[in-house]
Amino acid sequence: MLLCVLLVGILFAIHNTTPVTIDLIFLTLPQASLSLWLLGAFVIGGVLGVLLSSFIIFSLKAKIHFLKRNIQSAKSELDKLKTSGVKDLV
């Protein structure tokens, strides 16, 4: 699968060597081949995707840690209540 994607990317780069200028509203980027601009867009998208997903992953890991701590304190409180209940009956 990866080999097919790589082959298509190489063929795209070979057939699209015409220089193009990217004109944003406030900025005109220098001329480069279409394949270079596309590769840059994929790289930027991949980096942004990794950064955003890592923030989500870290926040979820922090939440898991917080919830595990809450569970542990609830278990210790339950154990204290069980032992105090047994002492009251005796």
Q: Domain locations in the chain?
A: 8-89
Q: DSSP H helical segments within the chain, as ranges?
A: 2-15, 34-89
pLDDT band at 55 (very low <50, low <70, confident <90, very high): very high
Residue 27: phi and psi, rounded to 5, are -150, 135
Tokens of 3: 């080999």
- State the pTM of this model: 0.64
Condensed to tens digits (0 to 9), the pLDDT of residues 8-34 reads: 888 888 888 889 998 888 899 899 988
The position carrying tokens 């220098």 is: 30
* Continuous segment of H or E residues that includes residue 33: strand 32-33
